[in-house]
Structure 1
Amino acid sequence: MKKSSFSILYTSFLIGVLSCAYTVSAQQKGEPFEGIDQTWQNGSDRRDSSVFKNMKYFTPSILMDINYNYSFNNPIDNTVVGSTALARHNELQLSALHFGGDLSYGNARARVMTQFGTRSTVVPRNDFSPYRGQYNLANVYRYLSEAYAGYHINKWNGINIDFGMFMSYIGLNSYYQPENWEYQASFTSDNTPWFFVGSRIQIHPNKNWKIEPWIINGWQSYGKFNKMPGLGGNITYMSSNGNWKVLTNDYFGTDAAGIPDRVRFHSDNSVLHRYLNQPQSKGISRMAFSLTGDIGFEKGGGVNGFDNSPNKPAQYFLSVMFYNRTWFAKNKLAWTIGGGWMKNPGRYLVLYPTGQASPLPNPQDPTKREGMFPFSANPGDQFEGWDMSTNIDWMPNQSLTFRLEYINRNASVGYFAGGGGVTSSTGLTTTPVDPNGTWRPDLVKNESKVIFALLFRL
């Protein structure tokens, strides 16, 4: 199907859905996933309700994510490489502060969530789209994690039509850490989108299913990389007894900056199963697992998907991650163990190193790189990563989590920050970097770290 044809069909579909609003009764027909317990799911809100639930037009929400992590590589500049959850080593940091909430009046709806802390810099930095055209979109939008408005149609179990900035489901994990089983996401989640900017339609034909098409600016991008929008969607099924969740997210777009002939396809698929549920038990009260597998590729513009040739190297993405979680003491304690693997020739989804190892454009001069010794990300460059982690959670109530986590991550090439760091010989940005000297960014193949996090949600 031609790109323009898809956009026309999507617009026609949107107009058709909107027209239903005039013929559907104002009486609420049902709620999305009504009566299905989602509090155990990886990537979902573990609260059974909001303390603000009785407010008529506005339901506030406040989230805080405070962490301390210690890398046994002990980088001299205290910088973390290759993570969207962490920014600093051996320091207490405010990773995220979000406040905002949901607004509704009649069938009009909106959600606004602000974003402050290190993630407001760490997450947008890999977005190339602000370099296309004027105005610094990375600064304009970085203090918002969600901001959308739309209309709710009281048909079936609800139809929502939204425009703005909303969360991505690709990679299973939630952008908000209090919803995740693990703190440092595995490669599958950490290297796939956290947000989209565009439009979506959420269709709940009954309480078990959600069908959600998207038309968006691009792959975790504030603007467009080229002229074509990103196209995709989500299909989610939840069993009535709340023990199963199965979903697929699929995406197609042109997301290589300045290379409009290169197309990207990505398919993300997860299954979650709760295989034990006895919430009043003082021993093991609940057990569940999540399994996620991703496959994708880029083709055109000098790369050739899964087919490797001298002039057109293969450029694709394969990954898997698995976690098992066991709850104890009436769900007040939990133990999670798991890990994952990723292979990404061409490194088009790899989170780039920071500092003098960064291959990203320099904000002051996009014709140059941020780093003097950039990590290469050329067609054919190989990258493979694998990780494992385990943690203990103490959850005295549904709004507070204390987490202690150990993680070991590995890569096939030098990638993580070693003892020499990625900034300078002293670790300070004020120290000149001599390209003819002996210092280079210290990128190593593995790292182990301990993370302590305090996660709050109200």
Structure 2
Amino acid sequence: MKKAFLAIAAIALAAGSQAQDSAQAKIPFGGMDLSWINGQNRQKNFPLVVTDKNGETILTGVVLLDGYFNYNFARPKDNTQTISAATGRSNEFTLNQASIGIESNYKNIIGRLWLQTGNSLNIVQEADGSVGRGRNTSTGNLKFIREAAAGYHFNVDHGLNVEMGIFMSYIGLESYVTQENWSYQRSLVCDFTPFYFQGARLQYYPSKKFKTELWLLNGWQSYNSWSKNIGFGNSNYFRPSENVQLVANFYYGNDSKSGTPELSKVRRFHHDNSIVARYHKKDPSQGGITQAAFSLNTHYGFQSGEGVKRKDNYMAGTSLAHRLWFNHNKLAWTVRGGWLTNPGGYLAFIPAAAGNIPNDYDIAIASGKDLKVGELSTTLDIMPNDFVTFRFEYLHRKANMPYFAGAGGTTSQTGFNNDPIDPAWKADLRTSENRVIVGVNFRL
């Protein structure tokens, strides 16, 4: 009798183990450590977790703080950092982003709410011109929401998710959250592309190693639609192992001001692809270099239609970064180089307010001249644990025309935006810039 009982117990345990293994096998990218990837959260531990009596996770809380001191060697008199969505101020201490959020996948229900504030809102959310279309809309009621989505997970193959809300952008390798990137200042190709979308997405995992997404979007980094048409997107991730990630993203939409005959039918296409590969890894308890990896992110896009010619309105560029981890993965060193051209300037940052830009820039962009910008940076990260990063970065960028802020600044002759502007004053623009960024990121 005892032997029979033990046999039945063994069968039950084996069945339970097989069921657990089967469930584990169905988790997309299950068992992979992706914390080393450029553009991914490097956390491995998440202490703010609420579970039910069976130990199943109900909610995961997140707290994020990001601050920096950005020293611009030009010392612009208005302390304004231009041509950047990662840093908006220079030569002063700045709270870039403070964010809290909750996420849940409890019983297949998907819920996500992130709230945010900080200087990054001035650069990214408040620049959204789509909220000027119609009434009952503004950035005021949306800019404090970093991400908010609701949906459902269907147990199809390795997963099928349907969600609607405000999402972080899928375009580009690097993240809106600087803690997730290998460098503080995002690469040019990623800084010139969207950081958020409002719309709906379908995520499908046909296998453990592959994900594809279909997107319906209001527009290119916009809360509202620019026209009567919505945008379409597609994102594809293939991870044959935890050491390699291959990505291909696509976007197609109408993102010009509707009602203007020469622009209302202009269509925008954008594509980016990337490879991130880790070619060296060893036990972090050992000395020396513990990890080594590189990332390559390439972009191409254009606008065309209604007299807008593709050859005069396109964007192309690439960014190559290499990273080494050492001292038990508590230190990391990144070197990055990048290049971008954007004839017509339809994605480029505007270096100063309209009317205050020196004529050589205005004429060049209006005539379709190629805006070409290159960059080099080196970054040292000190990471005592999963939850804090101290970052020291040097950045050099150079353009083929005056594009970066000089000592005279880009606001007014006094540097204050509430002083009357001298009609003869023009923004002080230079062809190059050099900066040192000291950043601190906390994430729990």
TM-score, scaled relative to structure 1: 0.86
Matched, 1:168 2:169: yes
Say which of 379, 382, 385 aligns to 1:394.
382
Distance 1:135 1:77 in 2: 34
From 273, 277, 288, the equivalent of 1:273 is 277
The aligned counterpart of 2:412 is: 424
What pairs with 1:183-332 in structure 2 (closer than 5 Å)? 183-240=184-241, 242-258=242-258, 259-278=263-282, 279-306=284-311, 314-332=312-330
**How far has the Cα of 1:31 moved from its partner?**
1.8
2:373 aligned partner, one-letter code: G
Determine which of 415, 427, 430 is the counterpart of 1:444.
430
SS of 2:219's equivalent? Answer: coil
| Cα separation, partners in 2 of 1:373 and 1:221, compared to 1, 3 Å | farther
Q: What is the distance in 2 between the residues matched to 1:69 and 1:372? A: 24
The amino acid across from 1:116 in the alignment is T
1:52 counterpart = 2:48: yes
State the distance in 1 between where 2:442 and 2:226 align.
Answer: 36
Q: Return the letter of the residue paired with 1:36.
A: M
Q: Pick closer, same or farther for the CA change 1:301–1:178 going to 2, 3 Å.
A: same
**In 2, Cα distance between the equivalents of 1:396 and 1:232?**
38
Superposed displacement of residue 339, structure 1: 1.7
Note the residue ranges of structure 1 that are not aligned, 5 or more in a row.
1-26, 307-313, 360-368
**Which residues of 2 match residues 14-29 of structure 1 at below 5 A?**
none
* Structure-2 separation of matches of 1:432 and 1:403: 39
Q: 1:281: Cα distance to partner?
A: 2.4
Match of 2:28 in 1: 32
For residue 239 of structure 1, give the secondary structure of its aligned residue in structure 2.
Answer: strand
Which letter maps to 2:132? Answer: Y
Task: Give the stretch that moved more between structures: 127-136 or 271-280.
Answer: 127-136
What's the offset of the Cα at 1:327? 0.2
* Structure 1 residues 351-389: Cα deviation after superposition (integer angstroms, max 9, x where no partner): 223xxx224xxxxxxxxx8x6879645462431111110
AA in 2 matched with 1:257: K
User: 1:311: which partner in 2?
Assistant: none
Distance 1:351 1:136 in 2: 24
Give the secondary structure class of the aligned counterpart of 1:347: coil
SS of residue paired to 2:190: helix
Deviation at 1:32, TM superposition (A): 2.0
Judge conservation of contact 1:297–1:316 (CA < 8 Å) in 2: yes
1:187 positional shift: 0.8
Deviation at 1:54, TM superposition (A): 5.0
Q: Does 1:95 align with 2:99?
A: no
Give distance in 1, aligned partners of 2:306 and 2:317.
24
1:411 CA drift (Å):
1.4
Instruction: Encode CA deviations 1:336-355: one digit per residue, 9 max, x unaligned.
Output: 001210010010110223xx
RMSD over aligned Cα, in angstroms? 1.7
C-alpha distance in 2 between matches for 1:80 and 1:334: 26
Q: Give the C-alpha shift of residue 280 in structure 1.
A: 2.8
What is the distance in 2 between the residues matched to 1:38 and 1:29?
17
- Residue 353 of structure 2 corresponds to 358
Q: Which amino acid counterpart does residue 419 of structure 2 have in structure 1?
A: T
Q: Per-residue displacement from partner, 1:383-404 (whole Å, max 9, x unpaired)?
A: 1111110010000001110000
Q: Is the 8 A contact 1:137 1:223 kept in 2?
A: no
Partner AA of 1:57 in structure 2? I
Q: How many residues align?
A: 409
* Structure with larger Rg: 2
Structure 2 letter corresponding to 1:171? G
For 1:332 and 1:320, how far apart are their aligned partners in 2? 29
Q: Is the 8 A contact 1:63 1:98 kept in 2?
A: yes
Residues 336, 372 of structure 1: alpha-carbon distance in 2 compared, 3 angstrom cutoff: closer
Matches of 1:103 and 1:425 in 2, distance apart?
Answer: 51
Measure the CA separation in 2 of the matches of 1:413 and 1:326.
34
Q: Is the 8 A contact 1:29 1:156 kept in 2?
A: no
- Aligned-partner Cα distance in 2 for 1:412–1:372: 16
Q: Counterparts of 1:341 and 1:45 in 2: how far apart (Å)?
A: 25
| Aligned-partner SS, 1:137 | coil
Shift of 1:154: 1.7
* In 1: Cα distance, 2:136 partner to 2:123 partner: 20
**Percentage of pairs with the same residue:** 40
Q: 1:153, 1:159 within 8 Å by CA — same for their partners in 2? A: yes
* Structure 2 match to 1:71: 72
| Mapped partners of 1:372, 1:411: distance in 2 | 16
CA distance in 1, matches of 2:100, 2:74: 35
Question: Secondary structure of the residue that 1:106 maps to in structure 2?
Answer: helix
CA deviation after TM superposition for structure 1 residue 28, in Å: 8.4
Counterpart position of 1:118: 119
- 8 A contact 1:358–1:373 mirrored in 2: no
